Amino acid sequence: MRRDFDWKPLLLVPALALLALPAVGSLPTWFTLTIAGLAMGMIVFIIASGLTLVFGLMDVLNFGHGVFIALGAYVATLVLGCMGDWTQSQSIIANLVAVLPATVAAMLVAGAVGLAFERLIVRPVYGQHLKQILITMGGMIIGEELIKVMWGPDQIGLPLPAGLRGSWQWGDAAIEKYRIMALAAGVLVFGVLAWTLARTKIGLLIRAGVQDREMVESLGYRIRILFIGVFVAGSALAGLGGVMWGLYQENVIPQMGNQVNVLIFIVIIIGGLGSTTGALIGALLVGLTANYTGFLVPKVALVSNIALMVAVLLWRPEGISPVARSR
Amino acid sequence: MLRRILSNDLPRSGMLTMLLLAIFLGLAFAPFVFPGIKALNVAAKILVFIVLVASFDLLLGYTGIISFAHTMFFGIGAYGIAIAVTRLSPSWSAIAVGLACALALSLVLALAISLFSLRVRALFFAMITLAVASAFQTLASQLSEITGGDDGLTFRLPEVLSPAFRLSREPFLGVSLNGRLVCYYLLFILAVVLVLTLLRIVNSPFGRVLQAIRENEFRAEAIGYRVVLYRTLSAVISALFATLAGAMLALWLRYNGPDTSLSFEVMLDVLLIVVIGGMGTIYGAVVGAVLFVIAQSYLQDLLRLGSEVAAGLPWLAALLSPDRWLLWLGLLFVLSVYYFPSGVVGRLRVPPSDEGAR
């Protein structure tokens, strides 16, 4: 494995960043945009990681993944709304104490709903791609509508805690505090995820299952239970990503799940279905592209991601590092 | 004769034959049997949706691949007419130019999407179409100089199709013979021709290959059919028919905006109609579209009524509010995919005695 490590995709991210430098022009602006892009990329990666693992493990493509994103963000609005004293405080520690339970609550709720979603929506249609796509899409719509019933159809503000607002000056470049935090949280989650996948028994089984499900089963492991675990963990991660995304935008709307879903699909297509490394690279590329083009030509920001996807697919038709081979 | 017109694909069920005949006659004489502006609008919408859903059925039911960009092609058709007529003149030549440009754009886009996604795996197609469609929707509302943005475009049509035009001074059977009537029958003829053409396509040798691919992709490839090529062709043909349906919509409404033709809600309607009507049977599109559009036009009133009754219970009232129409659609959709996957037509075609055997 190590001797033929595929290093080319890893160069894509710095290459894209350097390519954008002359286009953006000024170094401080470029620096701000790059940090913003990386932060956005990490958030998108957190959301996409669960989806791509679920696909790799069980060949299940969950079009309803976006529900957990929106759900997580809405739960966070509830929890943070109850903790006014802590969020108003200028101390970053108090703010983090407020954000932590909100995040935990969001992950728990999203995970629990993920469990129910798996049982009710996904399980009856295993192995039938066509129905799977239709059913999970239906689940997505139902979830979005239920969110509208509970929280109303309009946009709700999700203000950042006071201490996390504003930005640090670093030379001429202004870097928003929250983006650094999001970046740090993203790196942390990626570290935990990578460690779990690479160093633990469960991670070993997941990776083995992605490569060859039947073989793992014939060795006596119950891949169903493993799969449910991954599905729930993936939903919880989507909930966490939803909180971070909501704080990044400073508002939540019921349609946010659908909007982020589109980004995530682009990410996992770029990364190659089933690959976590691919998803990370894809997410960073998408985050950077979105921020650079958002600055240079705002009108084509979303189209630029599709152009990016097309470019990657021209280079590698199955994505950057496909794991799940066509079965 | 009839056998040839229907491409040898008869309804194969007495009930279904009656139903289709009733729908055909009902739509053919709709302006005379169901007077009133609302009824005529519903009938015209049914015609448009029959074509749109039948073209989607070619892709989903016959080829077995899912596209979430079908409304994009629908929108391209509608915008093609709208933009050409607004920019050039309210004339037939402008309509022809708009339609030709829309068809060309759909052809190029469908070809590009298919070649990028279908050569890897059919699953990619669903994801890429979703992404492209949402980008296109954003683009359509952003480029407001051309598309009119979120407000859309209202335009005038050639004299013959406008309400002011009179075929004769005297009303015929109590219905005034104006341009709207001409427009309705134009749509009707178009819908009949397009549906029969689709029926011809799915029952041709080409259509049989598509079904073979749906049933077993690997085996079809092994027999020697280029699966990618056939799937791509199917996606392109389906996109072109959707574009034509979009043009029909624009002709009828004399207006087009992102909500009427591009929105995800329309896509959901199409999915639901295909599933309810019966996938893989062009007739399913006809039956489903009639049931669905009528339900949509009149059931929302029912929900409003329910919401008013439940006013004492705020939770129930919120669930029953007409704004939550999509919630019930979504539930209906999931339940039909589970318990009713063959749809109305599939159910009617299987004799009750065989059902246990299936």
Residue contact A131–B341, C-beta within 8 A: yes
| CA-based nearest residue in chain B for residue A262 | B131
Q: Which residues from B are below 8 Å from A139, CB to CB?
A: 330, 334
Nearest CA-CA distance, residue B328 and chain A, Å: 8
Nearest CA in chain B to A269: B124
**Residue A134 to residue B119, Cβ atoms within 8 A:** no
Rounded Cα–Cα distance for residues A289 and A283 (Å): 10
- What pLDDT sits at residue A312? 87
User: DSSP strand E in A116-197: where?
Assistant: 156-157, 167-170, 173-176
E strands, B148-290, where?
Answer: 153-154, 255-256
Q: How many domains does chain A have?
A: 1
Distance in angstroms (rounded) separating the CA atoms of residues B324 and B249? 25
The one-letter amino acid code at A50 reads: G
A141 contacts B268? CB cut-off 8 A: yes
All residues of chain A having their beta carbon less than 8 Å from the beta carbon of residue B280 are none
B123 touches chain A (CB under 8 A): yes
Highest-confidence segment of A8-12, A83-87, A264-268, B177-181? A264-268
B260 within 8 A of B253, measured Cβ to Cβ: yes
Question: What is the C-alpha to C-alpha distance for residues A271 and A234, in angstroms, rounded to an integer?
Answer: 17
Q: Which residue of B has its CA nearest to A314?
A: B116
Q: What is the pLDDT of residue A93?
A: 74
The confidence score (pLDDT) of residue B57 equals 93
Distance from CA of A199 to the nearest CA of B (A): 31
- Binned at pLDDT 50, 70 and 90, residue A323 comes out as low
CATH code of A259's domain: 1.10.3470
Q: Is A224 on the interface with B (CB under 8 A)?
A: no
A45 inside domain: yes
The two tokens of residue B298 are 């009149």
Contacts of A305 in chain B (CB under 8 A): 131, 135
Note the ipTM here: 0.83
The answer to whether B67 and B238 have CB atoms below 8 angstroms apart is yes
- The interaxial angle of helices B70-87 and B37-57, nearest 10 deg, is 130
Residue A298 pLDDT > 60: yes
Q: What span, in angstroms and rounded, lies between the C-alpha atoms of B314 and B117?
A: 47
User: Is the Cβ of B143 closer than 8 Å to some Cβ of chain A?
Assistant: yes
A11 by Cβ neighbours in 10 Å (0-12 / 13-18 / 19+) ranks as exposed
> Residues 317-346, chain B: which have Cβ within 8 Å of A?
318-319, 323-324, 326-327, 329-331, 333-334, 337-338, 341
* DSSP string for B277-323: H-TT-HHHHHHHHHHHHHHHHHHHHHHHHHHHHGGGSHHHHHHHSGG
Q: Is residue A2 part of a domain?
A: no
Note whether A187 contacts B: Cβ–Cβ < 8 A: no
Residues in contact with B51: Cβ distance below 8 Å, sequence separation at least 6, in sequence order: B190, B191, B194, B195, B241, B244, B245, B248
Q: Which residues in chain A touch residue B121, judged by CB atoms under 8 angstroms apart?
A: 326
Residue B138: which of A139, A273, A302 has the nearest Cβ? Answer: A302
pTM, rounded to two decimals: 0.87
Q: State both tokens at B234.
A: 């199917």
Mean pLDDT to the nearest integer, A129-151? 88
A contact test, residue of B121, B307, B339 with most A CBs within 10 A: B121
Q: Residue B331 is nearest to which of A142, A310, A326, comparing CB atoms?
A: A142
Name beta bridge partners: B37: none
Residue B135 to residue A306, Cβ atoms within 8 A: yes
Per-residue pLDDT at A41 exceeds 70: yes
Give me the half-sphere count of Cα atoms (radius 13 Å) on the Cβ side of residue B312.
Answer: 1
Per-residue pLDDT of chain B (358 residues; tens, 9 = 90+): 777 777 777 777 888 888 888 999 988 888 888 877 888 889 999 999 999 999 999 999 999 888 999 999 999 999 999 999 988 888 888 999 999 999 999 999 999 999 888 877 778 888 889 889 988 888 888 888 788 777 888 888 887 777 777 766 666 666 677 788 888 999 999 999 999 999 999 999 999 999 999 898 889 999 999 999 999 999 999 999 999 999 999 999 988 888 888 888 888 889 989 988 888 888 999 999 999 888 887 777 777 777 777 766 776 777 777 677 778 888 888 888 888 888 888 888 875 545 444 3
Domain extent for A64:
12-163+180-315
Instruction: Give CA separation, A121 vs A116, A131, A137, B94, B341, in Å.
Output: 8, 10, 10, 48, 15
Contact yes or no for B319 and A148 at CB 8 A: no
- In terms of Cβ atoms closer than 10 Å to its own Cβ (0-12, 13-18, 19+), residue B350 is middle
pLDDT band at A3 (very low <50, low <70, confident <90, very high): very low
Euclidean distance between CA atoms A219 and B173, whole angstroms: 78
What's the confidence (pLDDT) of residue A2? 47
Shortest distance between the Cα of A83 and any Cα of chain B, in A, equals 26
Tokens describing residue B187: 């749509």
Strand, coil or helix: B35: coil
Q: Mean pLDDT across the stretch A253-281?
A: 87
Judge whether A303 lies within some domain. yes
Give the pLDDT confidence score for residue B319 in this predicted structure.
72
Q: Which of residues 125-144 of A touch B (CB under 8 A)?
A: 125, 129-131, 133-135, 137-139, 141-142, 144
pLDDT greater than 50 at residue A84 = yes
> Measuring CA to CA, which residue among B43, B27, B41, B54 is closest to residue B242?
B54
Tens digits of residue pLDDT in A144-155? 888 888 888 888
Chain B hits for A141, Cβ within 8 Å = 268, 326-327, 329-330, 333
Chain A interface test: which of B127, B216, B279 (most A C-beta within 10 Å): B127
